[in-house]
Amino acid sequence: MIEVHATAKHMLGMPPTEFLRDYWQKKPLLIRNAFPGFESPLQPEDLAGLACEDGVLARIVAHDPKKDSWMLRHGPFPEDMFPSMPHHDWTLLVQDVDKWDADVGALLERFDFLPRWRIDDVMVSFAAPGGSVGAHVDQYDVFLLQAQGRRRWQIDDRPNPPVHFRLDVELKLLQRFEPTHDWVLEPGDMLYLPPGVPHHGVAEDACLTFSVGMRAPAAAELLGDFVDTLASEADESLRFADPELEPAKDAFEIDAAAMERVVEGLNKLRMNDPERLGEWFGRFITTYRTALRPGGREPGDGRSRIEIEWDLQQGAYLQRDPWTRMAWQRAGRGARLYVSGESHALPLADARHIANAECLDGGDYAKLSITGRDLVQDLLQRGHYALEFPEDAAR
Ligand code: SIN
Ligand code: CO
């Protein structure tokens, strides 16, 4: 089945185990009414406003259907541009809206059947009627949630579809696209696409689409980063060595014994050590794809630790910065907590608790061990949390 209806119990129209077994990374799935009665937490004007701000990744794609020509522009855009935009055939796309807008960010909880570190961002697009980004394929799994208005999605779900790109446009558009399915999505409907499925979404009327996109680093990126990490930490004295060298039969030959020593030389970097590999991966995957942390909070706010702990007891809470990525991993009897590329040793309960809580209140904080509290305080000082006060709580 390629089309299902969500049920009160299952957003995906089936238990997550079934979805992961039969569809995830394998087959497209259209879920009607995945978010019943969905009302977009964000309006087109809000998206346009965001696209004018510095540090926001935004693009506009416009299509001229008569000439079949495409135009791509990168933001930030001038504020006076949007009112003069044509009434059709263009799309505004903004990346990372989950970090800019807490209500959009909260939607990610619905995807907790996936590891959070597998999720890259929520991209939101606004399309004027007829607007689209053209037929293309993506390298990542994506959940396309229709948030407002209607969009027609066409996909080609044949095995090994042709994926040759047009050379005349900057966008990676397909030369040929032969859809096997054609649907109109209403607000709350959601289309899941595994990587490599050609798709084309055209706005029927002015519409908003939320794309929950996954993060799947290329094998070359993984290897490159791991090797860089190993190399930067390696001791210079770890070298190719051949203390048992025998007289050379041919001074120009690289023989089998030499190759064994090459492998030994490489292994000195302990590439197969699971602990090192785990630590590197945790740091790698919690590092945001750009070094930029646009939302970076003001470090601390001059309050002392005692004052902060007092505030927490009085109802204040610690709100995690939306750009801070966390993941944890078991390590011996404890755990390692990864925070935006850093690694911290913690008791298991602390690591799990801190990673899962986007907001820590006094009660949460009190449950942490001393080491856990020390880390949270340190993260607060470095802008990974902000101390917030409920509106009417006395300071
Ligand atoms: C869009 O929202 O217009 C494009 C999303 C996609 O095709 O990945
Ligand atoms: Co796409």
Mean pLDDT of the chain: 94
Q: Are 43 and 20 in contact (CB under 8 A)?
A: no
Q: Do 157 and 231 share a domain, yes or no? A: no
Tell which atom from ligand 1 comes closest to the C-alpha of 200: 7
Q: Do 365 and 352 share a domain, yes or no? A: yes
Range of the structural domain that residue 339 is part of: 299-388
Q: Please indicate whether residue 138, judged by its CB atom, sits closer than 6 Å to ligand 1.
A: yes
Point out the domain boundary residue: 175, 199, 214.
214
The whole-number pLDDT of residue 296 equals: 53
Out of 145-149, 152-156, 238-242, 360-364, which region has the weakest mean confidence (pLDDT)? 238-242
Q: Do 252 and 310 share a domain, yes or no? A: no
Q: Please indicate whether residue 95, judged by its CB atom, sits closer than 6 Å to ligand 1.
A: no
Q: Do 189 and 144 share a domain, yes or no? A: yes
Q: Do 208 and 223 share a domain, yes or no? A: no
Please count the structural domains in the chain: 3
Of 295 and 76, which is predicted with more confidence? 76
SS (H, E, C) the chain: CCEEECCCCCCCCCCHHHHHHHCCCCCCEEEECCCCCCCCCCCHHHHHHHCCCCCCCEEEEEEECCCCEEEEEECCCCHHHHHHCCCCCEEEEECCHHHHCHHHHHHHHHHCCCCHHHEEEEEEEEECCCCCCCCECCCCCEEEEEEECCEEEEECCCCCCCCCECCCCCCCCECCCCCCEEEEECCCCEEEECCCCCEEEEECCCEEEEEEEECCCCHHHHHHHHHHHHHHHCCCCCCCCCCCCCCCCCCCCCCHHHHHHHHHHHHCCCCCCHHHHHHHHHHHHCCCCCCCCCCCCCCCCCCCHHHHHHHHHCCCEEEECCCCCEEEEEECCEEEEEECCEEEEECHHHHHHHHHCCEEEHHHHHHCCHHHHHHHHHHHHCCCEEEECCCCCCC
Q: Do 137 and 35 share a domain, yes or no? A: yes
Tell which atom from ligand 1 comes closest to the C-alpha of 199: 7
CA of 199 to the centre of ligand 2 (A): 6
Q: For a pocket test of ligand 1, which of 63, 144, 191 has the largest count of ligand atoms closer than 8 A to its C-beta?
A: 144
Q: Is residue 390 scored above 80 in pLDDT?
A: yes
> What's the one-letter identity of residue 36?
P
Q: Please indicate whether residue 213, judged by its CB atom, sits closer than 6 Å to ligand 1.
A: no
Question: Span 72-93, mean pLDDT?
Answer: 96
Q: Is residue 393 scored above 60 in pLDDT?
A: no
Point out the domain boundary residue: 181, 214, 247.
214
Half-sphere exposure of 40 (CA within 13 A, CB side): 23
Q: Is residue 337 scored above 90 in pLDDT?
A: yes
Question: Span 36-60, mean pLDDT?
Answer: 97
**Residue 294 banded pLDDT, cuts 50, 70, 90:** very low
Q: Is residue 290 part of a domain?
A: no
Tens digit of pLDDT for each residue in 184-208? 999 999 999 999 999 999 999 999 9
Q: Please indicate whether residue 91, judged by its CB atom, sits closer than 6 Å to ligand 1.
A: yes
The whole-number pLDDT of residue 370 equals: 98
The whole-number pLDDT of residue 292 equals: 57
Tens digit of pLDDT for each residue in 54-65? 999 999 999 999
Q: Is residue 295 scored above 80 in pLDDT?
A: no
Q: Do 157 and 9 share a domain, yes or no? A: yes
Q: Do 92 and 196 share a domain, yes or no? A: yes
Q: Please indicate whether residue 133, judged by its CB atom, sits closer than 6 Å to ligand 1.
A: yes
Q: Please indicate whether residue 324, judged by its CB atom, sits closer than 6 Å to ligand 1.
A: no
Q: Look at the pTM and tell me if it is higher than 0.95.
A: no
Can you read off the two tokens belonging to residue 373?
């509290």
Q: Please indicate whether residue 135, judged by its CB atom, sits closer than 6 Å to ligand 1.
A: no
**Residue 297 banded pLDDT, cuts 50, 70, 90:** low
Q: Is residue 88 scored above 80 in pLDDT?
A: yes
CA-closest candidate to residue 43, choices 197, 206, 213: 206
The whole-number pLDDT of residue 303 equals: 86
